[in-house]
A and B are shown apart, each in its own frame.
Chain A
Amino acid sequence: MGHSSAHGENYLNHEKGLWSWLTTVDHKRIGLMYMITVLFFFFVGGVMALLLRAELFAPNAVAGVGQVLKSGDIYNQVLTYHGAIMVFMVIIPGIPAILGNFFLPIHIGAKDVAFPKVNLASWYCFMFGASLAIGTFFASKIDTGWTFYTPYSIRTGTSTVMMVLGAFVMGMSSVLTGLNFIVTVHKLRAPGMTMHRMPLFVWALYSTAILQMLATPVLAITLLLLAAEKIFGVGIFDPKLGGDPVLFQHFFWFYSHPAVYIMILPAMGVVSELITTFSRKVIFGYTAIAYSSLGIAAVSFFVWGHHMFVSGQSSFAGILFSFITMLVGVPTAIKMFNWVATLYKGSIRFDAPMLYALGFMFLFAIGGVTGIMLAVLPIDVHFHDTYFVVAHFHYVMVGGTLMALMGGLYYWFPKMFGRMCSDAWARMSFVFIFIGFNVTFFPQFILGAMGMPRRYFDYIPAYETLNKVSTVGSWLIMAGFLISLYTLVRGLRSGEKAPMNPWGSKTLEWQTSSPPPHFNFDVEPIVTAGPYEYR
């Protein structure tokens, strides 16, 4: 002590005190702030999910266990908050805002993102929007579903306006992050770090950032129009005022379909990193994976109508959207094949992050083929708005994005906090989450094929058995996440000190200390080879 500078040697103790965190412009600290908030929202959304499953354990007429929630209105509110929180506050910001913020600059050998203060502003935007959205819970709880379909969202007496303004402000945060990432990738790469030497995680974030920049404003406009209609009575979507409710669906899905890829592309990036590291092998088809991300991003703007095959849009539009959706399936399939091919003749280790990556591939394969089924017109007519769709998007969003997020957290935990997690506990969490996930959601495919509609507070007795199985599965998932929480907290408090490169990876973040210094590298790195040169 008595040293003239009070700065510590890494980003965690570089400055101290709550104020230093709230005013930080360090991308790593902002990543951690996102982590804390997103994990908190994940907890809230998860409790909602457990409530929904508890309610659906048996039909309401069954004595005792039949009706858990007091009324259909309460059930509808719970499903709305579950959907809105998980989509807008967990899955969309999840990987880009936590892992992307932390590792994108390090991956390309930069000191920080291009606009550090904008980065902090985006966190405050996110928090402000999230507070508005959560605030509706204490005003009058909304019951529109996360899709806010008109005219229901205009007629219902609940505080839809506050909620959509919340989503609007969170959208701003998404745009700012996207802008930051694009400029950072173009302007701040270290000497020798060509575009084709960037890790695939960076390519995925780059494609995602383009989507965030181009698609989010459309959502913003839509939500503002909705608010204008509700406050001032301007006729845009409500037929009573001369509007068209189907127009809202077009606007909404013009954002929300690309948003699906905002959710999944970063996850694919994480999986590319995990698979190469733990099989210690160069990725198969680097260029194909990198450019298929961009390809998916581009085509994803022209498939929104596949959410509307039975909405009253013309048959011709339906046919066109079905066709384009088939095209977007191809680059997605290519990525799957590339990952499998990467395993070929590798040297594979089964640490927890790798298990999560393999779990991702397993679940995403099922999510993918059922996605193709849903793109086929007459099949979708039967499955639309049934539990088949619910199962499909949970396989993609939870089985895909959330598995990748968990794998990524375990993978980068030593780098972020300088300590190791217990791998045995982490693997146990995987077993519970993976099995629980399949037990919960696979029966829902069958329920959907049998015809059970989604957003149902009650159901006919024929659906009882499979719903019971599904609810039991949700308890297994809960156990898995509780084990994860324990593992992470235990790693933070008493994990052994992490070496610089515990997994033997080749990307740049592993070539600096754990945790990294304030400016990421003590000496600016000079890049001479690609990210996966395992020879």
Chain B
Amino acid sequence: MMWYNLAKAQSFMPTDGTEIAKQVDNLYGFLLITSFIACVLVIGGMIYFVHKYKRKSDNDKTAYISHNTTLEFLWSFIPLVIFLIVFAWGWYIYQDMRTMPKNAIEISVLGKQWAWEIEYKNGYKAVNEVVVPIGKDVKLLLAAQDVIHSFYVPSFRIKQDAVPGRYTALWFNANKLGEFHIFCTEYCGTSHSGMIGLLKVVTQEEFNSFMEKGQEEGQLPLVKRGEKLFALKACASCHSVDSPAVKVGPSLYKKFGSDEILEDGSKVAVDENYIRESILQPNAKIVKGYPRGIMPTFQGQINENELGALVEYVKSLSGK
């Protein structure tokens, strides 16, 4: 299959992480080659003719060819046959893609502005991170909380919209260990491009211990718990933590201990109380240059312990 490997090298498709992805790439390789030939024929024919029949004098006589039934039949029939072949080939793969396997591991995925909430059968929850075992059928049950999102794993060549008010689903069977990107591909507002997750394919043993570890959350140190919570509440969708880059809200990188300038021009020291107030009453003080009313309040949604953990985590971002 030399031709196919060649086509694949040209196509820049991401690594294929499933058997179906490989099949999709085969079909894509075939399409690339036939498209390339078609373009060479049409564009090449065009360039050859305009070069060969360049106007020589203003009195050139041209041939009067109004039509040619055989030729016209052929160039209608041949494309039709090719189109039907790729349609049928596509149908065949699509059927596999859309037929949900029985006895698959089921994981619920909830899309919301702007994070993926993952829930496993045993009640363990995570955000923006799906962990699955290699070589097992996995079915993702998709739902959306606010607007339409779309769950896309480029390396698996799968994509499905998560629609509010109903469930949709997709499945895969990963055959490569590693981490793969999850993107949201249905436009969902301010931080659509920040709704990035990771799909981790691990061995069965790692998966088992991951599921057990999920039960032991409570024993983590405060900073670690804060970090977990920061991810779980999707704070990272709007606040960067490892660089001063601005997402939706101000970056928290090295913010603790510095001074912040507010919209009325006054200064405020970033200390524990300021962070606490910003989480519980985000509109009490607005940093200069940012819009009011974007960040939702977390009053009543996190308890005192969790608040402490978050403050501790933000402190740790300053290296203090």
Task: Rank and list the top 7 A-B pairs by shortest CB-CB distance, nearest first.
Answer: A239-B165, A451-B154, A347-B60, A369-B35, A377-B94, A376-B90, A343-B49
Contact A358 B46 (CB under 8 A): yes
B214 within 8 A of A: no
Which residues does chain B contribute within 8 Å of A378, judged by CB atoms?
A: 20, 23-24, 27, 90, 93-94, 97, 157
Q: Is B129 part of the contact surface with A, judged by Cβ < 8 Å? A: no
By the criterion CB–CB under 8 Å, are B35 and A373 in contact? yes
Contact yes or no, B246 A60, CB < 8 A: yes
Please give 19 more A-B residue pairs, beta carbons under 8 A apart, in addition to A152-B148, A326-B87, A451-B183. Answer: A61-B240, A73-B291, A151-B147, A152-B189, A156-B189, A310-B161, A327-B80, A347-B62, A358-B50, A369-B39, A372-B86, A377-B90, A378-B90, A378-B97, A384-B185, A385-B186, A446-B12, A457-B192, A460-B181
A67 to chain B, nearest CB (A): 7
Give the interface of B toward A (CB within 8 A).
11-14, 20, 23-24, 27-28, 31, 35, 38-39, 42-43, 45-46, 49-50, 53-56, 58, 60-68, 71-72, 75-76, 79-80, 83-84, 86-87, 89-91, 93-95, 97-98, 146-148, 150, 152, 154-155, 157-161, 163-166, 168, 181, 183-194, 196, 240, 243, 245-248, 289, 291
Q: Please name all residues of chain B whose beta carbon is closer than 8 Å to the beta carbon of A336 when the two chains form the complex.
A: 42
| Per-residue contact bits, chain A 351-376, to B (CB 8 Å; 1 contact, 0 not) | 00000001001100110011011011
**Measured between C-beta atoms, what is the minimum distance from A169 to chain B in Å?**
25
Inter-chain contact B62/A345, CB cutoff 8 Å: yes
> Are B50 and A372 in contact, with the CB atoms below 8 A?
no
- Contact between B189 and A143 (Cβ–Cβ < 8 Å)? yes
Beyond A66-B245, A279-B53, is A458–B79 a contact (Cβ under 8 Å)?
Answer: no
Q: Which residue of A lies closest to B290 (CB)?
A: A71
A449: chain B residues within 8 A (beta carbon): 11-13
Per the bound structure, the CA–CA distance linking A236 and B79 in Å amounts to 41
What A residues does B190 contact at CB under 8 A? 71-73, 76
| Given A382-B154, A453-B183, A535-B64: A366 and B94 interface contact (C-beta under 8 Å) | no
- Distance of A491 Cα from B89 Cα, bound (Å): 54
A315 touches B94 (CB 8 A): yes
Q: How far is the CA of A151 from the CA of B144 in the complex (A)?
A: 11
Measured CB to CB, the closest approach of chain B to A531, in angstroms, equals 12
Chosen A-B contacts, 9 in total, with CB atoms closer than 8 Å, are A61-B240, A61-B245, A156-B189, A244-B165, A322-B91, A340-B46, A350-B50, A382-B158, A451-B181
B64 to A: closest C-beta gap in Å? 6
Q: A282-B65, A458-B194 are in contact. Are A311 and B161 (CB under 8 A)?
A: yes
Query: From B238, which residue of chain A is reached at the shortest CB distance?
Result: A72
CB distance from B85 to the nearest CB of A (A): 10
Q: How distant is the Cα of A530 from the Cα of B200 in the complex, in angstroms?
A: 67
Q: A421-458: contact bitstring with B at CB < 8 Å (1 yes, 0 no)?
A: 00000000000000000000000001001110111111
Q: Which of A285, A361, A379 contacts B90 (CB 8 A)?
A: A379
A46 at interface, CB cutoff 8 A: no
Cross-chain contact A60 with B192 (CB below 8 angstroms): no
Give the complex CA separation of A372 and B81 in angstroms: 13
Q: Is there an interface contact between B75 and A337, defined as CB atoms closer than 8 Å?
A: yes
Residues 187-217 of A at the B interface (beta carbon under 8 Å): none
Cβ-defined contact, B50 with A373, below 8 A = no
Query: Which of B27, B65, B94 has a CB less than 8 Å from the CB of A345?
Result: B65
Q: Knowing A60-B246, A381-B157, say if A365 contacts B60 (CB, 8 Å).
A: no
Verify if A459 is at the interface (C-beta below 8 Å from B). Answer: yes
Kindly identify which residue among B31, B49, B157 contacts A340, using a CB–CB cutoff of 8 Å: B49
Of all chain B residues, the one with the shortest Cβ separation from A326 is B83
A345, B60: Cα distance in complex, Å: 10
Say yes or no: A279 contacts B76, CB within 8 Å. Answer: no
Closest Cβ–Cβ distance, residue A151 to chain B (whole Å): 5
- Residue pair B62, A281 in contact (C-beta under 8 Å): yes
B94 surroundings in chain A (CB, below 8 A) = 315, 318-319, 377-378, 381
Chain A nearest Cβ from B96, distance in angstroms = 9
Chain B residues within an 8 Å CB radius of A358: 46, 50
Does A494 sit at the interface, judged by CB under 8 A? no
CA distance A244 to B93 in the complex (A): 29
Task: Considering the complex, give the chain B residue whose CB is closest to the CB of A369.
Answer: B35
The answer to whether A312 has its CB under 8 Å from any CB of chain B is: yes
Instruction: Please encode chain A, from 146 to 171, with 1 for each CB lying within 8 Å of some chain B CB and 0 for all others.
Output: 00010110011000000000000000
Output the residue of B66, B93, B194 with the most chain A CB within 10 A: B66
Contact A152 B39 (CB under 8 A): no
The reply to whether B53 and A245 contact each other, CB–CB distance below 8 Å, is no
Expressed in whole angstroms, the Cα–Cα distance for A327 and B84 within the complex equals 9
Complex interface: chain B residues within 8 A of A280 (CB): 55, 60, 62
Q: Cβ of A156: which chain B residues have Cβ within 8 Å of it? A: 189
Q: Is the CB–CB distance between B152 and A246 below 8 Å?
A: no
Query: Counting CB contacts under 8 A, is A286 at the interface?
Result: yes
Question: How far, in angstroms, from A366 to B40 measured CA to CA in the complex?
Answer: 10
Q: In the complex, are the beta carbons of A333 and B79 less than 8 A apart?
A: yes
Whole-angstrom distance between the Cβ of B260 and the nearest chain A Cβ: 18
Of the candidates A149, A246, A310, A456, the one having the most CB atoms from chain B within 10 angstroms of its own CB is: A310
Residues of A within 8 A of B80 (CB): 326-327, 330
Contacts of B31 in A (CB 8 A): 369, 372-373, 376, 379
Q: Judging by beta carbons under 8 Å apart, are B193 and A72 in contact? A: yes
Contact present for A61 and B243 (CB under 8 Å): yes
* Distance of A145 Cα from B23 Cα, bound (Å): 33
Residue of A nearest to B78 (CB): A333
Q: How far is the CA of A534 from the CA of B65 in the complex (A)?
A: 10
- The minimal Cβ–Cβ distance linking A249 to chain B, given in whole angstroms, is 9
A386 within 8 A of B: yes
Known: A346-B62, A372-B83, A379-B90. Is A245-B163 also a contact (CB below 8 A)? Answer: yes
Known contacts A312-B163, A322-B87, A341-B71; A382 and B245 CB within 8 A of each other: no
Q: Are B245 and A60 in contact (CB under 8 A)?
A: yes
A147 to chain B, nearest CB (A): 8
Tell me which residues across on chain B come within 8 A of A60, comparing CB atoms.
245-247
- Bound together, the chains give a CA A312 to CA B161 distance in angstroms of 6
